[in-house]
Structure 1
Amino acid sequence: MYEEIEKIIDCLKEGLEEDPSSIVFGKLNDGIGEMNETNTLKLGVYYNLLRLTNGARCGDIDLWSYSELEKNQFVLLNIQDDKESWLSIGQILYEPLIMNRFNGNVFKYIVDEDSMECFGEFNFFLKNSVLGSGYCNIIPNSENDDWFMFLKKKGIISV
């Protein structure tokens, strides 16, 4: 699945570069280089995304760059355990997006309710909910969303 995600991201990067106005709804940065083993273990499967794009804006979903990660861990204060299982990786409509570092499952942390909504394993979430048709299941009114329309235009998802 990782190779498929890499191809999709490369295709989307090209499309975003062709249209300067796309910065409003989408941005896929250059990936980061190699890191030491301690950092890669701390990041879990999220490191694979950082190698492809060091942070991303995908419509109403933001994925933190490596430099943004540390300052955005504050959202975990009430849920972090002694194993430091959780990593804040971004946001969906300003609700924290967190990942369990050990099993790779991704959740939207609904702060006001102190509850979580699971989106599945990270690569599945990325391919289906961020870069695929599942985006419309987590973003309200996505049929008019610029990112969703961009995914259709690039042939990533069918109409």
Structure 2
Amino acid sequence: MNESLKRNINKLKTQLASNPDSILIGQIHDGNPQPEMEDKNGALAEYTQFLQECDGASFGEIILFPVRELSRNQFYVETLAGGTETWLFIGHILYEPLVINKTDGKVYMFYGDEPVDWPEECFGSFDHFLMDYAFGKKYLDLVPVDLEDGWVRLIRELDGWTTRLPY
């Protein structure tokens, strides 16, 4: 995990800790120094480093499971090509499954109510997903909210956004 991500996570933890409404906005759990992850080719290195920094989190409507919940949540990946050998179900965005590919480390989303053998949307590497979607302007592409949403306000302060919505 790069230093910029660590700084963002620590700053967000501090901001959430001082906000009485933080449970409604987001949560960042303490890290797990030794998350039990099978990673045969190193593709999950960024994700493992994230778990060491924060073992589970909710970034607005993006929910990432703690390690202790991973094993019981793998039922979604059984329908994907390669099943649990290729995919790890790591969380959800508005209840749509968020998975990571164990061979390339990229994060994907698919719609749980539609049978598919490959996820529909790719967000790039795990670090890229965090920077651009969880902590960046592309959050607005994933979640139908406005600039007054609690999580959006928090990450706008983090990055000093000046974005105006098109509506």
Aligned twin of 2:126:
122
**Mapping for residues 135-150 of structure 1, pairs under 5 Å:** 135-150=139-154
Does residue 158 in structure 1 map to residue 161 in structure 2? yes
Instruction: Classify 1:35/1:64 alpha carbon distance in 2 versus 1 (closer, same or farther; 3 Å).
Output: closer
SS at match of 1:41: coil
Give the drift of 1:27. Answer: 0.3
SS at match of 1:77: helix
What's the Cα RMSD here? 2.0
Runs of 4+ aligned structure 1 residues displaced above 6 Å come to none
Alpha-carbon distance between aligned partners in 1 of 2:81 and 2:142, rounded to the nearest angstrom? 24
Alpha-carbon distance between aligned partners in 2 of 1:88 and 1:82, rounded to the nearest angstrom? 10
| Alignment check: 8 A CA contact 2:96 2:111 kept | yes
- Opposite residue 156 of structure 1, the aligned amino acid is D
Alpha-carbon distance between aligned partners in 2 of 1:61 and 1:19, rounded to the nearest angstrom? 19
Number of corresponding residues: 156
Superposed CA deviations along residues 70-118 of structure 1, whole A, max 9, x for unmatched, are 1111111111516711001100000000010221111111123335211
Instruction: Classify 1:19/1:83 alpha carbon distance in 2 versus 1 (closer, same or farther; 3 Å).
Output: closer
Give the drift of 1:68. Answer: 1.1
- Opposite residue 125 of structure 1, the aligned amino acid is F
Aligned twin of 2:165:
none
| Percent of aligned pairs sharing the same letter | 34
| Alignment check: 8 A CA contact 2:87 2:102 kept | yes
| Alignment check: 8 A CA contact 1:132 1:157 kept | no
Alpha-carbon distance between aligned partners in 2 of 1:83 and 1:151, rounded to the nearest angstrom? 33
Structure 2 unaligned residues grouped into runs of 5+:
163-167
Aligned twin of 2:24:
24
What TM-score, normalized by structure 1, do the two folds share? 0.89
Alpha-carbon distance between aligned partners in 2 of 1:16 and 1:71, rounded to the nearest angstrom? 28
Aligned twin of 1:94:
95
Alpha-carbon distance between aligned partners in 1 of 2:160 and 2:109, rounded to the nearest angstrom? 23
Alpha-carbon distance between aligned partners in 2 of 1:35 and 1:108, rounded to the nearest angstrom? 23
Superposed CA deviations along residues 21-75 of structure 1, whole A, max 9, x for unmatched, are 2111210011001246xx2526813111101111001111000101111111111
| Alignment check: 8 A CA contact 1:95 1:109 kept | yes
Alpha-carbon distance between aligned partners in 2 of 1:94 and 1:8, rounded to the nearest angstrom? 25
